[in-house]
């Protein structure tokens, strides 16, 4: 069966995903439409409303931000349409997470985004609780500036000559403060099943020409360390170039493409 895909978002992630789908890069998946609150101009599929997309598609791919997940995800699933979420940071809202994981008949999926090792961390849950889970995310200072920051913190970021810790906390509170930059924190928490168990540090570094994520986890059954360094997307430095390709890999798994590592 060919999955009829509606793509939400025509930004840095959506354009790569949509272009690849239109070229037939994912066997068993066909791009049917694009949903965006702006006029997107020329595109490889018609621009439709959410309601129209739900009538025509059996799989919606979210590539537009946490707000879309909060507003539309539950309705998509209750309509019987499957949903692939890229903006996992929205799931720091535990009530929303519970509703989505319990909703149906549509099924909800999450893409791994800019990091690896989440499949292993999820598997380790079968052995018992991880007692020490840490994530350090390091990015260019300009990509971390937020409206809630005071002048003193903004001045530290803009004048930094080396690494500056911008915030530390748990995967429950950090993604809320950096909605476009810390979906990774929520993804790690989803993998281990506990928002409060993941300690997160956000670091600004003027020399971070590659976005870095370091995941460290340990428990009585073993210890684990995953580190990645990605080039930022030129059109949206807040996200890594690899993210749309992670979405495409997830789409391949959902569509049943053989040879996928699950």
List pLDDT tens digits, range 95-141. Answer: 898 999 898 899 999 998 888 899 999 999 889 889 899 999 999 99
Of the pLDDT bands very low, low, confident and very high (cuts 50, 70, 90), residue 179 is confident
One domain, residues 56 and 96: yes
123 and 139 inside one domain: yes
**Strand pairing of 108-110 and 82-85?**
parallel
Q: How confident is the model over 58-72, as pLDDT tens digits?
A: 999 999 988 899 999
**197: pLDDT strictly greater than 90:** yes
Q: Which residue has the tokens 């049943």?
A: 256
Task: Tell me if residue 213 is catalytic.
Answer: yes
* Total structural domains within the chain: 2
Characterize the bridge pairing of strands 232-233 and 236-240: antiparallel
- Which tokens go with 245? 């390709």
Confidence label for 180 from pLDDT (cuts 50, 70 and 90): confident
Q: Does 167 map to a domain?
A: yes
Per the model's pLDDT, the better-predicted residue between 7 and 66 turns out to be 7
Same-domain status, 138 and 207: yes
**CATH number of the structural domain spanning residue 158:** 3.30.360.10
Give the global pTM: 0.89
Same domain, 91 and 54: yes
Beta bridge partners of 59: 5, 82
Q: What is the DSSP letter of 49?
A: -
Asked if residue 79 lies in contact with residue 104, where contact means CB atoms within 8 angstroms, the answer is no
Please give the residue that has the higher pLDDT: either 7 or 143.
Answer: 7
Active-site option among 209, 213, 221, 245: 213
Residues 138 and 193 in one domain: yes
Is position 103 within any domain? Answer: yes
Q: Give the range among 173-177, 204-208, 232-236 with minimum mean pLDDT.
A: 232-236
Over residues 37-49, the pLDDT tens digits come to 898 888 999 999 9
Residue 250: its pLDDT value, please? 93
- Assess whether 227 and 123 both reside in one domain: yes
* CA angle 146–88–262, rounded 5-degree value: 145
Give the pair of three-digit tokens for residue 195: 């928002």
User: Could you tell me if residue 180 is inside a domain?
Assistant: yes
One domain, residues 124 and 207: yes
Q: Which domain holds residue 177?
A: 118-239
Predicted pLDDT at 108: 95
Residue 217 reports pLDDT greater than 90: yes
CA dihedral 239, 240, 246, 247 (to 10 degrees): 30
Digit-coded pLDDT (tens) for 221-238: 899 999 999 888 888 777
Mean pLDDT of all residues belonging to the chain? 91
> 75: Cβ–Cβ under 8 A, 6 or more apart, which residues?
54
User: Residue 246: which CATH number?
Assistant: 3.40.50.720
Q: Do 77 and 128 lie in a common domain?
A: no
Q: Residues 77-100: pLDDT tens digits?
A: 999 999 999 998 888 888 898 999
């Amino acid at each position: 069966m060919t999955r009829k895909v509606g793509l939400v978002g025509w930004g840095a992630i959506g354009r790569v995903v949509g272009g690849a789908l239109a070229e037939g890069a994912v066997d068993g998946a066909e791009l049917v439409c694009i949903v965006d609150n702006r006029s997107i101009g020329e595109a490889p599929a018609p621009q439709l409303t959410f309601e129209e997309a739900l009538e025509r598609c059996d799989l919606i791919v979210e590539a537009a931000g946490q707000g879309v997940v909060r507003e539309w995800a539950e309705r998509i699933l209750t309509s019987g349409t499957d949903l692939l979420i890229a903006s996992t940071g929205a799931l720091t809202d535990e009530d929303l997470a519970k509703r989505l994981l319990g909703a149906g008949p549509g099924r909800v999926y999450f893409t791994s985004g800019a990091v690896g090792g989440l499949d292993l961390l999820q598997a380790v849950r079968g052995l018992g609780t991880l007692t020490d889970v840490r994530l350090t995310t390091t990015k260019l200072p300009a990509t971390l500036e937020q409206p809630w920051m005071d002048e003193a913190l903004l001045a530290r970021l803009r004048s930094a000559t080396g690494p500056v810790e911008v915030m530390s906390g748990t995967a429950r509170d950090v993604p809320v403060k950096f909605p476009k930059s810390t979906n990774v924190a929520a993804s790690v928490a989803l993998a281990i099943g506990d928002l409060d168990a993941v300690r997160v540090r956000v670091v600004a570094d003027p020399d971070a020409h590659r976005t870095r994520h370091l995941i460290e986890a340990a428990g009585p059954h073993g210890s684990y360390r995953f580190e990645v360094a990605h080039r930022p997307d030129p059109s949206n430095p807040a996200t890594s170039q690899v993210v749309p390709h992670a979405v495409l890999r997830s789409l391949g798994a959902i569509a049943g493409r053989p040879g996928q590592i699950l």
